[in-house]
Amino acid sequence: MSVVVTISPLSTVETIFREQSVASMPVELSLVGFAGSFLWFTCGIMLHDWWILAPNAIGILIGCFTTYLIWKFGTFFEDLGKQVSRALTFGPQDSLAQAKKRQLQQLSRLQQLGVPSRKHKFIV
């Protein structure tokens, strides 16, 4: 069954090559399946169990191929890199200021909607 789940993203390979985009592929499922196959393969090595090794070796090969497709035709890794760099550039004070601003915006929205105000806790 796990091999079927691992192979399922390959059903969109023709569309990926035709459109030069991985929009039709479940990117997160492919990456998580690849990581899971790798971890189970490691477990199979430790246990010397071919019933665990064989299907997960197939999963690793398919995972390598789908990861290559995501890298070549997608923007997932670029977007992830931008998010990580953006998260690393914010200091603790910036994040705190943003949280306060967001809380004040939410409070003003609630007041506009007529929601009765209660005691709200703010980050200080």
Q: Do 16 and 54 belong to one domain?
A: yes
Write out residues in the chain with pLDDT < 70, as ranges: 1, 87-95, 115-124
Residues 6+ apart with CB under 8 A from 42: none
pLDDT digits (tens, 9 = 90+) for 75-95: 888 887 877 777 666 555 556
Q: How many domains does the chain have?
A: 2
Q: Do 8 and 42 belong to one domain?
A: yes
- Give the domain CATH number at 17: 1.20.1280
Q: pLDDT averaged over the chain?
A: 83
Q: Do 5 and 64 belong to one domain?
A: yes
Q: Do 70 and 99 belong to one domain?
A: no
Residue 3: C-alpha distances to residues 12, 31, 51, 92 (Å): 16, 14, 12, 44
Q: Which domain holds residue 105?
A: 81-114
Q: Do 47 and 90 belong to one domain?
A: no
Query: How much of the chain exceeds pLDDT 70, in percent?
Result: 84
Q: Do 43 and 2 belong to one domain?
A: yes
Is residue 123, in this structure, part of any structural domain at all? no
Nearest to 52 by CA among 64, 62, 61, 43: 43
Query: Any idea what DSSP says for residue 115?
Result: P
pTM: 0.63
Token digits for 124? 């200080």
